[in-house]
Structure 1
Amino acid sequence: MIKHITGEDRSQIPLFVASLEETIAQDNQVRLIDAFVDSLNLDELGFKLKTDTNGRPPYHPAQLLKLYLYGYLNKVRSSRDLEKECLRNTEAMWLLCKLAPDHNTIASFRKNNTKGIQRVFQATVKIASHFELIGGTLLAGDSTKLRAQNSKKNNFNSNKIERHLKHIDNKLQEYNLALAKEDGDLELKKSIVKKVKKHSAQKQKYLGYQNTIDTTGVTQISTSDPDSRQIMTRNNISEVAYTVQTTVDALHNIPIDFKVTNENDSKAMGGMLRRAKTIVGHNNFTAIYDKGYYTGSEFDYANRLNIDVLVAIPAVSAHAPDTAFDVEHFKYHKDTDTYTCPANQTLTTNGNWYNKTNGKSITQMKHYKTTACLSCSFFDKCTKNKKGRLIERSQYADLIYENKLRIQNNYEIYRRRQAIVEHPYGVIKRQWGFYYIMTKKTIKHASADVGLIFTAYNLRRLLNLIDPIEFKQYLKALPLFFNNYAKHFKAFYSSVFWAAHQTTFYRKLFFCSLNQLYLR
């Protein structure tokens, strides 16, 4: 007879019953999640701790935050799935001390604590900085698109509304003709009248959408998730999605900032640089971006912040009949404010500035031209304009040229961009499958979901890069120090904590101080 491994009898009563604590190994990472949340001052982070004396008491925010972080680290985001984990997962039972909140409670916590979740993410960045995992000298910025809980069918712009209205008008015309011809069949007449009412109601709905577009200035309307927009993702493929702007530190590919928007990248660089300057505490760093951020006004923003940027140069959008006469081959002379063309002719300007509108932005331009064009033998190769070649120079041209020189002189640094900033996206979207937004109804709720995603990602990086024992000691010592000693040693704390972020020696000194306080 073939023997197989057999399990225990389900009805057998064990002699020694193991406690829930004993079922979780000491090196299980769920213990570090527990210690991380316990180290946070949730009241200061913006979570509601005070409760009403009447009625059933609510769950403590720490319990629900632990559940969410555990879920996101294990690829579980749905509130209903998290509810199930509380009832069947030993690690989740240990983490929540066998509490089992229902899915409505779990979902409400995420959508009602956007700011608190953002600050929890910031806490992971501070921990990474404390353990010298943030270099602060090279940052990479980029965005990714996460699909919203809104189908393309429920997203409307003026052109789409116009097509729907045209289709409805054609249908109503057909029905009215059918009613005019119908004189005997009452059932058929009732059916046609019903269809007329249905299409008329649809028409009023689309007219309402168009009125909203005309009066509010929005370009799109999404009915399921109002703040989401139809955005080009790749290769002329569009999705109704959100754009997540991210700034990633190069040392260990740790995101230090994120922002959820419903716009493209063209106007995003300046704001993200300003935030990055605040986070790292200085502007002595280089930031690298792809060609989607190549906007003159954003170069000006970076220049005013005194931050060096390396932004990829996009290909020329408009070519001359002969590419040898493209604008890049016209040489600018700053001292005389003139251009020399490939035919060695000089183009001059009258010095006036002209406004050029591109979407909502306005850029000032100078025009450069020469009368020599009309008699030039290269005229047909240079331009199709019958009046001759016209060169436009932006008010940001000098800053754009400086970026070009930085790219040429630091190309090997720029080549690192993709390896730095795509690392988090690869983990989040490919490994974890988080390629869509879990929540809906406003960008605020989407930000909470994204905040938990990036908090979980940073925690994963911290768990992989920091010795677990040292990490656990740090997390346990931190709240004790702040709660019992910070008020009495505020000056000491300020000076030593600042020094702890500057050198390895002082960082270890500060950590040892925390550890001694904890051991007491």
Structure 2
Amino acid sequence: MIKFINGTNRNQLPLFASSIDDAIAQDNEIRLIDLFVDSLKLADFGFTFDFVENGRPAYHPSDLLKLFIYGYLIRMRSSRTLEKECNRNIELMWLLKGLVPDHNTIANFRKDNPKAIARVFRATVKMASHFELIGSTLVAGDSTKLRAQNSKKNNFNSNKIERHIAYIDAKLEEYNSALAKEDSDTQYKQIIENKIKKHTVQKQKYIGYQNTIQTTGVTQISTSDPDTRQIMTRNNISEVAYSVQTTVDALHNIPIDFKVTNENDAKAMGGMLRRSKTILGHNHFTAIYDKGYHTGGEFAYADRLGIDVLVAIPDVASHAPDPAFDAKYFIYNKQTDSYICPAKEILVTNGRWYTKSRGKWSNQMKHYKTKACLSCAFFKQCTQNKYGRLIERSEYADLIYQNKVRIENNYETYRRRQAIVEHPYGVIKRQWDFYYIMTKKTIKHASADVGLIFTAYNLRRIFNLIDQNLLKQYLKILALYLRALKATFNAFYDSFFEKLNQISFFKKRNNCSLKSPIFTF
């Protein structure tokens, strides 16, 4: 007869009563989550602690924060799922001490505390730095697109609106023509009139969108989540999404900063470098970026910050009829402020700066040309411009050239970019399946969701890299320090207000002012 392992009788009472703490192993990482949150001074982070006296008491922010960190670490972000887990998950029963918050309470906590959650993320960076997991010498920056709670169908730009209006106009013309021909069938006429009414209402809606774009200067309108934009993700595939700018330290691939935006990468590098300088406390580090960040103005920003950057050089946008005459083969002479072309002719400038606009950004350019072009034997190989070859030099050309030299001298360092910055994205989007934003409406709410994602990621890295006993000891010391600080403050607070009450009583009894020197303390 085959033997099987049998469980205990569900109706049998245990001989020795045990607490829920006995059911949680000492090396269970949920104990680290509990210690981590208890080590934080959440009142300074911006979580709400002041509630009205009347009504049902609120849940403590630390309990809800523990719930979210645990949920994100086990790939659960839904507030309804977390509510269910509070009823059936023994780890959560231990962590929350039997509390079961409503899903609305859970969702509102995340939605209402984006700045406080960002500070919790910074606390993970500070803890990683304490354990020397942050190298602070090499960082890599990039962005990832996280799909928003807004479909492409509910995203509009000027061209799309015009197509919709043109389609409706064609339909209205068709229906009006059919209505004019119909004389006898009253029911059919009513159907057509209803369709005309429906399309007219739709047209007015699109006209309203068009007016909003023209008056506000926005390029897109999203009706479900107003802050989202349709952004190119890869290979000409677009999504209505948020772009999450991230800075990752190279030592252990730990993100030190993030920012949720709805714009592309072109103007993002400078701001992220400034934030990195503040976080690391110095500018003696190198930052690596891909070619999407190759913008003259951003090189100038990095230069003002005193930070060396390695930014990939994009492909040439256009070529000469003969690639041997591409602009990169024109040699610049800084002393004479001129160019020498492959045919050994000298191109000079009149010294004037011209404004070149590209979308909402503009740069100052100098133009270089020579009269020798029109009689040059290589004219047709060099240019298709009937007036001769024109070379433009940006105001940021020197900084762009310096980046090119740095890339050539540090190419092996640049090659590490993907291994550094794509590591968190791979875990978050592929392993954890967090490829979309959970919260709805506005970039502020999206920032809260992303903040919890990166907080969970950093904690996972720290839990994996640091010995658990050492980490527990560190967090316990922090928690003890925080409790001692709180006790000292409460004692001072009680003493202060007791003295203030005594002074107020004395003032009323003797009809004197608190401004009297005798009451100064």
The CA distance in 2 between the partners of 1:225 and 1:80, in whole Å, is: 21
For 1:295-334, list aligned pairs within 5 A: 295-334=295-334
Matching residue of 1:373: 373
For 1:365-404, list aligned pairs within 5 A: 365-404=365-404
For 1:345-424, list aligned pairs within 5 A: 345-424=345-424
Provide the secondary structure at the position in 1 that maps to 2:242: strand
CA contact (8 A) 2:39 2:482 kept: no
**Letter of the 2:231 counterpart:** I
- Relative to structure 1, the CA distance from residue 379 to residue 300 in structure 2 (aligned partners, 3 Å threshold; closer, same or farther) is same
The CA distance in 1 between the partners of 2:145 and 2:280, in whole Å, is: 26
CA contact (8 A) 2:41 2:482 kept: no
For 1:150-229, list aligned pairs within 5 A: 150-229=150-229
Provide the secondary structure at the position in 2 that maps to 1:170: helix
Matching residue of 1:492: none
CA contact (8 A) 2:35 2:479 kept: no
Shift of 1:487: 11
The CA distance in 2 between the partners of 1:244 and 1:56, in whole Å, is: 38
The CA distance in 2 between the partners of 1:189 and 1:480, in whole Å, is: 80
For 1:229-248, list aligned pairs within 5 A: 229-248=229-248
The CA distance in 1 between the partners of 2:16 and 2:36, in whole Å, is: 32
The CA distance in 1 between the partners of 2:396 and 2:69, in whole Å, is: 45
- TM-score relative to the length of structure 1: 0.92
- Relative to structure 1, the CA distance from residue 479 to residue 425 in structure 2 (aligned partners, 3 Å threshold; closer, same or farther) is same
Shift of 1:271: 0.3
Matching residue of 1:256: 256
**Letter of the 2:158 counterpart:** S
Matching residue of 2:426: 426
What whole-Å deviation, never above 9, does each CA across 1:76-100 have from its counterpart, x for those lacking one? 0011111111011111111111111
Matching residue of 1:96: 96
The CA distance in 2 between the partners of 1:312 and 1:376, in whole Å, is: 35
Matching residue of 1:138: 138
Q: Structure 2 regions of 5+ residues with no counterpart?
A: 489-521
Shift of 1:272: 0.3
**Letter of the 2:476 counterpart:** K
**Letter of the 2:302 counterpart:** A
Shift of 1:4: 3.1
Matching residue of 1:120: 120
Shift of 1:375: 0.8
**Letter of the 2:379 counterpart:** F
The CA distance in 2 between the partners of 1:19 and 1:150, in whole Å, is: 46
The CA distance in 2 between the partners of 1:83 and 1:482, in whole Å, is: 29
**Letter of the 1:238 counterpart:** S
Provide the secondary structure at the position in 1 that maps to 2:54: coil
Provide the secondary structure at the position in 2 that maps to 1:135: coil
Matching residue of 1:466: 466
The CA distance in 2 between the partners of 1:283 and 1:216, in whole Å, is: 38
What whole-Å deviation, never above 9, does each CA across 1:24-55 have from its counterpart, x for those lacking one? 00000000000000111110000011221100
Q: Structure 1 regions of 5+ residues with no counterpart?
A: 489-520
The CA distance in 2 between the partners of 1:412 and 1:336, in whole Å, is: 35
The CA distance in 1 between the partners of 2:305 and 2:140, in whole Å, is: 16
The CA distance in 2 between the partners of 1:227 and 1:461, in whole Å, is: 31
Shift of 1:326: 0.3
Matching residue of 1:509: none
Shift of 1:2: 3.8
The CA distance in 1 between the partners of 2:297 and 2:39, in whole Å, is: 42
CA contact (8 A) 2:93 2:99 kept: yes
CA contact (8 A) 2:245 2:260 kept: yes
Shift of 1:458: 0.3
Matching residue of 1:74: 74
The CA distance in 1 between the partners of 2:14 and 2:50, in whole Å, is: 43
What whole-Å deviation, never above 9, does each CA across 1:434-469 have from its counterpart, x for those lacking one? 000001100000000000000000000110111111
Query: What do you get for the CA RMSD once the two structures are aligned?
Result: 1.2
CA contact (8 A) 2:161 2:210 kept: yes
Shift of 1:6: 2.9
**Letter of the 1:289 counterpart:** Y
The CA distance in 2 between the partners of 1:203 and 1:280, in whole Å, is: 53
Matching residue of 2:269: 269
CA contact (8 A) 2:365 2:392 kept: yes
The CA distance in 2 between the partners of 1:13 and 1:302, in whole Å, is: 69
Shift of 1:7: 2.7
For 1:19-38, list aligned pairs within 5 A: 19-38=19-38
- Relative to structure 1, the CA distance from residue 455 to residue 335 in structure 2 (aligned partners, 3 Å threshold; closer, same or farther) is same
What whole-Å deviation, never above 9, does each CA across 1:460-496 have from its counterpart, x for those lacking one? 01101111111111111113325536999xxxxxxxx
Provide the secondary structure at the position in 2 that maps to 1:278: helix
What whole-Å deviation, never above 9, does each CA across 1:393-429 have from its counterpart, x for those lacking one? 0000000000000000111111111100011001101
Shift of 1:217: 0.6
The CA distance in 2 between the partners of 1:23 and 1:367, in whole Å, is: 76
Provide the secondary structure at the position in 2 that maps to 1:451: helix
- Relative to structure 1, the CA distance from residue 18 to residue 147 in structure 2 (aligned partners, 3 Å threshold; closer, same or farther) is same
Matching residue of 2:8: 8
Flag as ranges the 4+ runs of structure 1 deviating above 4 A. 485-488
The CA distance in 2 between the partners of 1:338 and 1:167, in whole Å, is: 55
The CA distance in 2 between the partners of 1:406 and 1:211, in whole Å, is: 48
What whole-Å deviation, never above 9, does each CA across 1:159-195 have from its counterpart, x for those lacking one? 0000000111111111111111111111111111111
Q: Which structure's CA Rg is the greater one?
A: 2
What whole-Å deviation, never above 9, does each CA across 1:118-155 have from its counterpart, x for those lacking one? 00000001111111111111010000000001000000
The CA distance in 2 between the partners of 1:486 and 1:273, in whole Å, is: 36
Q: Is 1-10 or 311-320 further displaced after alignment?
A: 1-10
**Letter of the 1:400 counterpart:** I
Matching residue of 2:435: 435
